Chain A
Amino acid sequence: MSILRSLADRERVFDFLVPAQSPVDVRHGPILYLEDVSVSFDGFKAIDALDLTIDDGELRCIIGPNGAGKTTMMDIITGKTRPDSGSVWFGSRHDLLTLNEPEIASLGIGRKFQKPTVFEALTVFENLELAMAADKRVLPTLTARLTGEGRDRIEEVLATIGLVELRHGPAGILSHGQKQWLEIGMLLMQRPRLLLVDEPVAGMTEQEMERTAELLTGLAGKGKQSVVVVEHDMGFVRSIARTVTVLHQGSVLAEGSMDRVSNDPKVIEVYLGAEEEAA
């Protein structure tokens, strides 16, 4: 909890691009480290001996056909699904398999769902307020009052995600794209060390895509915040990707720069190939 206090620290300049101090120990290499992870539902192997390493400050794109296990992987990282075997480390200190969602979240792993999930009954403002880093125990929450700084912070994010006008409207009436933005905004309020973003541009217009691209690259750009993007849209991936990981049947098929990957025959066969057929 003390960490969170330090997050809400008064002196801090509330620029969400400046990463938060965090207990995550990345001195000895990667911020996220999955080793030999497997999980199966009713016999179907969703994840099969998956190894994945994300370096601190990296922006990683993960692609793969449907059922490749992308979402399941995120479930495992965020503690929603427990793998049958394998280990998942956040930095070199935290074994994520021993923690539950809230604990993982408060360590600084933020997640954006495939289908945007915001609290539709609450206003845009309230959505961000709930997301804001704060003491999230029951009684403090009961007595919590919104500080001026908090308000400023929320306004800032509102501006970034372009929902200033809608701040007091219920999130339920937002368009699909706007919900995507709001959700990203909520992630930013959390000031995470690692962002897991599931199909951020699904159903977005070109412009929205560009802004998203800027934002994500911007996040990781400063080199301190790590971002993992799962995306179908090849164009989008090309526009942001440095390293791309191709998942297939629950394990890594190929990894490397977009060009290398997209020329990889295996990849073309299972993925791009599949797409062409579909097309």
Chain B
Amino acid sequence: MTPCRPAMRPHWLAAPLLSLAVATPALAQEDPIKVGILHSLSGTMAISETVLKDTVEMLIEQQNEQGGLLGRELEAVVVDPASDWPLFAEKARELLAQEEVDVIFGNWTSVSRKSVLPVVEELNGLLFYPVQYEGEESSENVFYTGAAPNQQAIPAVDYLMNNVGVERWVLAGTDYVYPRTTNKILEAYLKSHGVGDDDIMVNYTPFGHSDWQNIVSEIKAFGSQGKKTAVVSTINGDANVPFYRELGNQGIDAADIPVVAFSVGEQELTGIDTAPLVGHLAAWNYFMSVDTDANYDFIDAWIEHTGDEMAVTNDPMEAHYIGFNMWTEAVRKAGTTDVDAVKDAIIGVSVPNLSGGHAAMMPNHHITKPVLIGEIQDNGQFSIVWETPSTVAGDAWSDYLEGSRDLISDWRAPMECGNYNVVRGSCGGNQAEEVAAE
């Protein structure tokens, strides 16, 4: 092996394939603008991700009806990473190297993003990531349109503490990095607000956990200690249905022990009989029940697109809506789809969100969002009971974690750093090395 040469430009990799290579041959001509969609259509994550693929397709259709972008047609390039994490990396590479897409909308799980990240950075692509996540990341090539912990978890806890008077906390989550980190942040946050150790119960369960009897009865016991108790749930996807069923059947109603969930939205509720859950809470930046015309138009369009009267919308869909509009806005601003130009142009871009406000792209590649608290209704919708007076800016690095307290992210010149350490006054990790390489 010869020592490494400087990284190549993406177009260098562009190549029609010989027979043993893969996928459809890339087009040589300029137009149309290619939009990569990297969402699992099969495997365990298909449940959540297929609708996001449809959303982006819908947005592209709408854009084309309005005459496309820069006078060019938009074309969706859909691939299926099949809920297989290494395949995510491979497909991202396919999209960027073979298909030469100008932007990618995709990913749901943290692990899939982590797997794609190095590829997007290496091939200098654009990735819009629409799901609420654990933070602790800020990549030059990724735009996080979902909520960072400070845009979801912390406001929700504030609401429970101040408006509901909760003194005792159960942090229940699926055992992966998002719940782990979120719960760490919350623990630190709660303790900083004088909650004692014995008033916090943390519990982790495996993916798709289906037998909640023991845990729910523990929660019940934990809740009967004479202090108002609430469950903060970062339980993921499939595990929720049996969890809520068990809650309902063991007679824990929202009035006694409210559960506030960060991963349960309208989409998930379509799989649950919500009658027993009325009053349990969820914290998001968007609910389908938001009462604005923008939202109703979006819903109508969505129902058009899916042809299903009962089709629901949810927070990650709004995130894609925002992300897509930000990207088109930035492309117009830059007058080109060139990645570096768009990256610079998009910072500061502000587009309307669906809840009547505006979302702006921050220098740390996170966006501003309102935080809404909703109570589950018997029709599978949420009724909004509280929202932050103004929008909250996403914080890539949590102030409540040992390692990241001193880090900030700013991708504008001159800093151009995703993890600048204000104490050391230096840009740590990745970038340090990349700067050196140049």
Direct contact of A and B (CB under 8 A): no
Please report A residues at the B interface, Cβ cutoff 8 Å: none
